[in-house]
Amino acid sequence: MEARRAEACPAIRRLAPRLVAVLGGFALAVLPPAPPAGADPLRSGAHARAERKTFTDGEIIDGFMKTAFGAEYHLAGRVDRIRKYHAPVRIFIDGATRADRRNQLGRVVGDIAAKVRNLDIAMAGARESANAVITLVRDRDLQKTIATFYGSDRARDIHQALDPQCLSGFRKNENFEIQRSDVILTVDNGDFVFLDCAYEELLQSLGPINDTDAVPWTMFNDQVSMGFFDIYDQYIMNILYDPRIRAGMTVDEVRAVLPAVLPDVRAWVAKVNNLPQ
């Protein structure tokens, strides 16, 4: 994914061991029960019912700083600046032709668009008009596909170090503005695992690329599996895409504007989730 002076920052998703058992090289996910009639299919099941929805300012800021700066695995360039899109994000789905997965991705993108206030994100009608591509592959083809994107040597390093189930990355320009994102998802690991990967990788491809095990409420933690767009990560994404948070900002620059940004973000997240103000 590295081109000219662009940075390639891949984020790798490994399945949480408490939810997935690996037997003979195959991942078996423990799926939640089917949602009741009329329930939101993207926000149902035991994980959503157990979701924590109230956080202090300090908890939100801590998670934002730990995911928006740094990178779990990066190939080139600095990772001590804010990285985000400053242009509309248009997504094209490529690869395995499973209508159910494509439909699920369309709903995931619509959910993100509805809940991140200043992010213009939607599906693209053609690859030529897209700046983000989601490639769908069968699990058996994942390693080969990663090698196509990153080269055989780096793909081997990624596999040996992280054994990913899905992956995302982006290229940025010299101003730390993301120019293109690529997401690789496997289609044959069950609905919960597919949605868990789809949300995390798509959101990370928009900027918060750093996985962390120090924040227990974010999906950007390999020990946490959600399968939906949780409240805590809505805070992170709405802070990132507030116009006052600009690509290229340093930690100190971000901390200086957060006191003004956070109340507006809190009000928006409360509104779109019917939370008490």
Tally of domains in the chain:
1
Inside any domain, residue 177: yes
Q: What CA–CA distance (Å, rounded) separates 51 from 247? A: 30
Domain-located, residue 144: yes
Could you say which DSSP state residue 191 is in? H
Residue 38 inside a domain? The answer is: no
Instruction: Classify residue 31 by its DSSP letter.
Output: P
Question: How many whole angstroms separate alpha carbon 252 and alpha carbon 229?
Answer: 28
The pTM of the full predicted model, rounded to 2 decimals, is 0.80
Task: Determine contact, residues 269/233, Cβ cutoff 8 Å.
Answer: no
Sign of the Cα torsion 234, 231, 41, 134 reads positive
CATH at 174 = 3.40.390.10
Place of tokens 């509309």: 88
By C-alpha distance, which of 48, 40, 22 is closest to 227?
A: 48
Q: Is residue 41 part of a domain?
A: no
- Report if residue 47 sits inside a domain: no
Within-domain flag for 195: yes
Helix, strand and coil content of the chain, in percent to the nearest 5, comes to 40, 15, 45
Please check whether residue 72 lies inside any domain of the structure: yes
Residue 44 lies in a domain: no
Mind listing the pLDDT tens digit of every residue in the chain (277 residues)?
333 233 455 554 443 332 222 222 222 222 233 343 344 455 545 556 578 999 999 999 999 999 999 765 444 455 689 999 999 999 999 986 789 999 999 999 999 999 999 999 999 989 999 999 999 999 888 888 888 888 888 878 777 666 677 888 889 999 999 999 999 999 988 899 999 999 999 999 999 988 888 889 999 887 888 899 999 999 999 999 999 999 999 999 999 999 999 999 999 999 999 998 7
Domain that residue 128 falls in = 7-29+54-273
